[in-house]
Structure 1
């Protein structure tokens, strides 16, 4: 395959091409000014204007050029650009172009203060790019990877922080492949902020771990852990804790002491209940307890005012507590593949909910109050053969029809 080289265009030439409205000329001009024009803001604004063109191909190229600007000039008016791109994420025809542009922005722009301040608003692809690049941790905190000089044979590094020394000692006593990614990140003072002990086959945690009190992000996923010692409480600064794919049948009370936790991953274990102390973790915004053996939920679950994402799918839940209606910031609730015969009317109080998955349950009817979920864009109800309210013909018409029907009850 051969490609036509991009021809340089001045701003005046590009403006003329845009005014003439000929598709191929518009695309050539936009690429030409993007690659050769130094006035990045003019090019940015031209791209933004062309995002409103009815032709998907022109929109695609405009998005592509915004990504190129991030790569070439390492700057954009991020609030304006991200708002414009975010408004088009629901268009499947533009998905690939948007993904590429978000990747370019994550790798090309070094505006760490903006990214940190607006972390919750960033598109998922930008967050993933910043995390994979080692620039941010999973909680949106800017971190720097430190490469200390270490003496593996002597266990103790010649240069490095106390935390680095502890990590090297931990590595030395671990029988793992040299290729294991410890995913360790330190701040400028050498304090360890992030560490992965995932996929190590651990049945207990190494004692050095409990001395790493600066940790914000700890990954213990995919091990063989069935308990945690009280020393876990020393990691009081933890904001993200991964315990997925282990062998827990119950959770230790010490977990309730980690009051700064924002993300807690407990999926794919053998948990039969969630302890009442979960209510102490009031800073949680993500809680994943899917793929366990839960048959009920505590009322204290409603004491998590900051919760945004709650995964409870693939359990044995027969009912939900009314207190779930207190999770006013909840946006995503996965309840598929349980044994629910009904859902509480209080679910209708979750006015910020955008995604509710109830597939594969035993539902017979939905409460009229769910018609109040005006921000809901995804409601999954498949594999509920006894569902009568709303009737199948309404369900087939999608979320707007379902909500409208429920509002008439």
Structure 2
């Protein structure tokens, strides 16, 4: 304990700790704020700062780990009364204390921010453990490189840049899954994946404190300490096994079981949400009312619409909606697509491919966007771009502000073209 306390007092991170906290909070609130009020999204958002300052922590660990080499202290460490690995562990632990401490401050701030609006539940620990494992893994790598380096600044800079590239290139959810970017209610962190990444962090820590440079005097005649040699080999093997487990436990997020009773709006059609998304219930109620206000007789309206994951049947995978980054625009598009699918002619044979002309594709795209904008409540959010090929979204946005009769005539023209494509 005494070496650890000494390292805490000597660590330069004691002066940089407020900056680490500021970096964590900037990543927490600077990226977005739509996560506030949802425990799953809050948990992911609290984890996200870890991959922003993991490179900083790796560079700091490399700087601290290289102190012995820069000052030629290997002889003193190898002849000390305490084993070398204990001294290294105290040094690395002090660096991690400041890094994980800043991370914990961000977690607590995120929890406090969502507490009053998120409803029952709390932070999801799996996502938070992922962030902590990422910090420990890269800080350990930085310490290992630093302990073998004699340069004061080159090693920390290279480690920091290398960590940044490694996290961006290999760490994303589609690669090694060292972190996640979204906390949709229909997915959760896989327990095997979390355990594998925690094992990797532990193995990296053990390798970092055992596989260190020794003094020339201690290395004369080979490795005189069999216990140290065995321990180092075991730790390295553990790191290899943990790395294999990392690959074997992808993806890091898996589907959740649907709740027994979803949260649905009143009236028909109903919009059903995951209970975790209760903050969107009032917006869903308004969307349901706008669906009921669509022109009578033109469309077939399903009895209910469901958020993704509430219906496990594979046939609903592309019909059910999900809420992207707090916006109801994507649900509006999904509802519009479901309405068009339900409204297709049922009394005509399936058309051959030749009937699906550009005119049909254009009409279907325009009609779907018109429905989506009406369901959404007028226009589309400015941050949302793209749409069906060849469809002018700005022109559609102008149509929905015209008198109802003009809109009906516009819609009927496109419905007739779709009818012709199916029935000839």
Q: What TM-score, normalized by structure 2, do the two folds share?
A: 0.25
Flag the structure with more relative contact order, 1 or 2, with Cα contacts below 8 A and sequence separation at least 6.
2
Which of the pair is proportionally richer in strand?
1
| Structure label with greater radius of gyration | 2
Q: What TM-score, normalized by structure 1, do the two folds share?
A: 0.26
